Amino acid sequence: MDVILELLRKDARITPQEIAKLTKKNVDQVKKKIKKYEKDGVLLGYKAIVNKEMLEDKEGEVRALIEVKVMPQKDLGFDKVAERIFSFPEVTSCYLLSGSYDLLLVVEGRDLKTVSRFVAEKLSPMENVRGTVTHFLLKKYKEDGVMLKSKEEHKRLAISY
């Protein structure tokens, strides 16, 4: 991967000036390369990784990983089925897998009921969906290569006999 892309992937706030200094390139060259990556669809956006456990006003949000077994469409494969599934607003990520299941979805909802309702009312009844397995995320330790810290550390009590 290009060093400019790698630097932006690790820290989207890094400036073209900082990139130029680190890569020993001209600032205008760096800016031009970044613009080209954006225009060509290589750089799709910039995002912040938010540790919601650290927020004072935590909103209830549930995230689930859903394995989906699908029947691919003739002459279209998995793409059309995946496109229909990832168009739902609850689906934040969708991946084609090897193994027992075909697709892996990351689904977010306000609460368990919202995610369960999505699976029962929208996903499972779809014509090409053959089965699902839902895993609810209980705690995040690391996301996108960044280790997340907990607001309060819970220490287990030692048990002695």
CATH code at position 118:
3.30.70.920
For the chain, what is the domain count? 2
Mean pLDDT computed over 5-23: 94
In this structure, is residue 89 part of a structural domain?
yes
In this structure, is residue 33 part of a structural domain?
yes
Mind listing the pLDDT tens digit for each residue in 85-111?
A: 999 999 999 999 999 999 999 999 999
Answer yes or no: do 30 and 90 share one domain.
no
Answer yes or no: do 86 and 121 share one domain.
yes
In this structure, is residue 159 part of a structural domain?
no
pTM for the model: 0.78
In this structure, is residue 118 part of a structural domain?
yes
Q: Is residue 50 classed as helix, strand or coil in its secondary structure? A: coil
In this structure, is residue 7 part of a structural domain?
yes
What pLDDT is recorded for position 134? 97
Answer yes or no: do 31 and 70 share one domain.
no
Mind listing the pLDDT tens digit for each residue in 28-70?
A: 999 999 999 999 999 999 988 887 777 776 666 899 999 999 9
What pLDDT is recorded for position 66? 98
Answer yes or no: do 75 and 130 share one domain.
yes
Mean pLDDT computed over 133-151: 87
Give the CA distances from residue 144 to residues 2, 21, 45, 83, 128, in Å, rounded to whole numbers and listed in that order.
19, 25, 15, 24, 31
Using 50, 70 and 90 to split pLDDT, how confident is the model at 16? very high
Answer yes or no: do 85 and 22 share one domain.
no
Q: What range defines the domain where residue 89 resides?
A: 56-138
What pLDDT is recorded for position 51? 79
